[in-house]
Amino acid sequence: MSPKSFFQNLLLISACTAVVLAGLHFFAPQAQQHWKFAAGSIFLFALVCTGLFYAGASSARSQNKHAFTNLVSVSVFGKMVVALAALFVYQQVAAPSNQWFVGIFLWCYVVFTGFEVWFMTKLAKT
């Protein structure tokens, strides 16, 4: 997968996720207070995917046949730690009045994880 193709797909996934979250913002008043967190979540996962793309492309070309598998293992754990930290920090700093931010974050997590599986599978085939 070329970087151009990756970034086109990343932009598409980010835009679709933003549209769904904008719809949620429009139809669910309880979610409106979390719009900055929603935008930050999209940005965070886009950054994680970008880093993982470049690391995955590098490890797929590596002479070490276990490098790619090791990267996948580390990325799963690392992404969970980053996700939990983001949720914890937001809860502590913003002191939200409801729990809608968890659903917003989980939506982003699931969408970008699906994208991650797709592009990592493409990279693994190279």
**pLDDT single digits (tens) 17-66:** 999 999 998 999 888 899 999 999 999 999 999 999 999 999 888 888 88
Q: How confident is the model at residue 82 (pLDDT cuts 50, 70, 90)?
A: very high
Note the pLDDT of residue 65. Answer: 81
Distance separating alpha carbons of residues 74 and 43, to the nearest angstrom: 21
Maximal CA-CA distance, the chain:
53
DSSP state of 65: T
DSSP assignment of 60-112, as one string? HTSS-TTHHHHHHHHHHHHHHHHHHHHHHHHHHHH--SSSHHHHHHHHHHHHH
Structure tokens at 58: 């590098």
Residue located via tokens 């429009």: 26
